[in-house]
């Protein structure tokens, strides 16, 4: 009889065989995330469902396998895979806990509840606040996480295929074991129950209007660092949080969001002109979500739309979490002292002068 370790080895070989996929394929993004996760203790987090129920993942380890699926209401492959996911929940039995993790990215509680009703989803649903995305290296939707009964991450993937089914079978076949509370403790340091959990180790302070921003220097698409607080250039700063696929991919599944992204891009272009970052006495930086995006995708976005401002890819999602951004487009106005002076969110883009007024107020 094959053990979970034998099946895991086979899964890793299958993953290696998938290297011929395009660099931007969902499976490649999930495989890349899984390389640093598979075989390690899963974080011991406490999550709360949209119905108010609390699930302590750490208490499940050792007794049950755990299957987490990251998804979004606007995600086409998520909808296509939902029957498979629902079947996994209905047939899990006492050996496995199945939880749907909505990414919380360009989604709302109402949208999630409507989606659940329309598709007949019955498994527990959690809306992530960024903690789970950080803990499990979220890069794509759907992203499947299978945790064995020993509390270790057995599989990370994107497709509902034979690899996923093999991982689910292997996870459930493991015997119950005693799992030390110390395992995964580093990941769970500071954890406390919330909607999607709050975890100090991976979810940093969220900056609000009036706060002074950190002295960060993310690398731009062209390789050089962009100083958030540049002593040699005390101009105000505008941080524009975006997604390179927002305008195109969401045009049919979420047209209002697509239009907001287009309007923000057009308003930024109008303000900076062809000269880019130094225009209007303001520095600009576009921060792109790493969800479903690679540097090449961001370069294509820049070329397609003639984006003149510097761009950085927030591959890990750390900047999005620090600024509490769950919806694109969102722009933050940073004054000369490095403090957040204002914010323009997606809904504000319906006013053609909203961004201009916010920039002029700096």
Q: Which pLDDT score is estimated for 181?
A: 61
Q: Which of 199-203, 268-272, 349-353 has the lowest mean pLDDT?
A: 199-203
In a domain, 227, yes or no: no
One domain, residues 242 and 341: yes
Q: Which pLDDT score is estimated for 205?
A: 77
Cα-Cα-Cα-Cα dihedral sign, residues 120, 126, 130, 133: negative
**Residue 157 reports pLDDT greater than 80:** yes
In a domain, 163, yes or no: yes
**Residue 350 reports pLDDT greater than 60:** yes
In a domain, 126, yes or no: yes
One domain, residues 15 and 125: yes
In a domain, 220, yes or no: no
One domain, residues 182 and 261: no
Tell whether omega for the bond before 142 is within 30 degrees of 0, i.e. cis: yes
Q: How buried is residue 52: exposed, middle or buried, by Cβ count under 10 Å (0-12/13-18/19+)?
A: exposed
Mean pLDDT of 324-343: 96
Mean pLDDT of 135-151: 97
Q: Which of 88-92, 237-241, 252-256, 331-335 has the lowest mean pLDDT?
A: 252-256
Render pLDDT for 8-60 as a digit per residue (tens, 0 to 9).
444 443 444 333 333 459 999 999 999 999 999 999 999 999 999 999 999 99
Render pLDDT for 208-225 as a digit per residue (tens, 0 to 9).
999 999 999 999 999 999
One domain, residues 12 and 73: yes
**Residue 337 reports pLDDT greater than 50:** yes
Mean pLDDT of 57-64: 96
**Residue 153 reports pLDDT greater than 60:** yes
Q: Which pLDDT score is estimated for 175?
A: 85
Mean pLDDT of 60-85: 97
Q: In the chain, how many domains are there?
A: 2
In a domain, 200, yes or no: no
Radius of gyration, CA atoms only, the chain: 21
**How far is the C-alpha of 147 from the C-alpha of 165, rounded, in Å?**
13
DSSP code, position 225: B
In a domain, 281, yes or no: yes
Mean pLDDT of 66-84: 97
- Binned at pLDDT 50, 70 and 90, residue 190 comes out as very low
One domain, residues 139 and 22: yes
In a domain, 211, yes or no: no
Of 122, 156, 188, the residue at which a domain comes to its end is 188
Of 171, 188, 205, the residue at which a domain comes to its end is 188
Render pLDDT for 248-271 as a digit per residue (tens, 0 to 9).
999 998 999 999 999 999 999 999
Q: Which of 121-135, 138-152, 262-276, 307-321 has the lowest mean pLDDT?
A: 262-276
Task: Please tell me the chain's helix, strand, coil percentages from 3-state DSSP, rounded to the nearest 5.
Answer: 40, 20, 40
DSSP assignment of 151-164, as one string? SBEEEEESS-SHHH
One domain, residues 269 and 164: no
**Residue 310 reports pLDDT greater than 70:** yes
Q: Is 219 left (phi over 0), alpha (psi -120 to 50) or beta?
A: beta
Q: Which of 3-12, 73-82, 305-314 has the lowest mean pLDDT?
A: 3-12
The model's pTM is 0.87
One domain, residues 244 and 160: no
**How far is the C-alpha of 116 from the C-alpha of 150, rounded, in Å?**
31
CATH number, position 336: 3.40.30.10
**How far is the C-alpha of 74 from the C-alpha of 322, rounded, in Å?**
24
Q: Which pLDDT score is estimated for 176?
A: 80
**Residue 189 reports pLDDT greater than 80:** no
In a domain, 88, yes or no: yes
One domain, residues 98 and 246: no
**Residue 69 reports pLDDT greater than 70:** yes
One domain, residues 243 and 134: no
One domain, residues 183 and 249: no
One domain, residues 311 and 242: yes
Q: Which pLDDT score is estimated for 64?
A: 96
One domain, residues 173 and 242: no
Backbone phi, psi, residue 296, to 5°:
-65, -40
Give me the domain span that covers residue 51: 4-188
Q: Which pLDDT score is estimated for 178?
A: 79
Task: Judge whether 144 and 157 are in contact, CB under 8 Å.
Answer: yes
Q: Which of 157-171, 184-198, 267-281 has the lowest mean pLDDT?
A: 184-198
36's tokens: 């640093």
């Amino acid at each position: 009889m094959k053990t979970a370790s034998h099946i895991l080895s086979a899964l890793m070989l299958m993953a290696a065989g998938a290297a011929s996929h395009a660099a931007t394929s969902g499976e490649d993004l999930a495989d890349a995330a899984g390389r640093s996760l598979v075989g390690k203790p899963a974080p011991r987090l406490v999550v709360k469902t949209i119905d108010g129920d609390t699930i302590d993942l750490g208490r499940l380890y050792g007794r049950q396998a755990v299957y987490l699926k990251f998804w979004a209401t606007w995600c086409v492959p998520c909808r296509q895979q939902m029957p498979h996911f629902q079947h996994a929940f209905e047939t899990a039995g006492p050996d496995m806990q199945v939880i749907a993790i909505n990414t919380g990215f360009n989604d709302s509680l109402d949208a999630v509840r409507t989606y659940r009703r329309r598709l007949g989803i019955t498994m527990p649903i959690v809306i992530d606040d960024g903690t789970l995305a950080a803990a499990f290296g979220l890069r794509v939707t759907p992203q499947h996480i299978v945790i064995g009964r020993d509390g270790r991450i057995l599989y990370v993937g994107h497709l509902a295929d034979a690899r996923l089914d093999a991982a689910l079978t292997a996870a459930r076949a493991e015997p119950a074991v005693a799992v030390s509370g110390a395992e995964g403790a580093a990941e769970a340091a500071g954890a406390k129950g919330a909607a999607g959990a709050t975890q100090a180790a991976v979810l940093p302070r969220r900056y609000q209007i009036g706060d002074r921003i950190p002295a960060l220097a993310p690398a731009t698409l062209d390789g050089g660092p962009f100083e958030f607080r540049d002593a040699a250039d005390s101009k105000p700063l505008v941080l524009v949080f975006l997604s390179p696929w927002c305008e195109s991919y969401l045009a049919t599944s979420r047209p209002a969001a697509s239009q907001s992204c287009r309007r923000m891009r057009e308003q930024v272009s109008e303000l900076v002109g062809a000269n880019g970052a130094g225009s209007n006495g303001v520095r600009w930086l576009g921060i792109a979500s790493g969800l479903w995006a690679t540097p090449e995708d961001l370069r294509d976005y820049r070329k397609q739309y003639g984006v003149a401002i510097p761009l950085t890819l927030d591959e890990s999602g750390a900047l999005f979490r620090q600024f509490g951004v769950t919806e694109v487009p969102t722009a933050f106005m940073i004054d000369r002292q490095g403090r957040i002076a204002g914010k323009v969110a997606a809904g504000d883009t319906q006013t053609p002068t909203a961004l201009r007024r916010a920039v002029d107020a700096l």
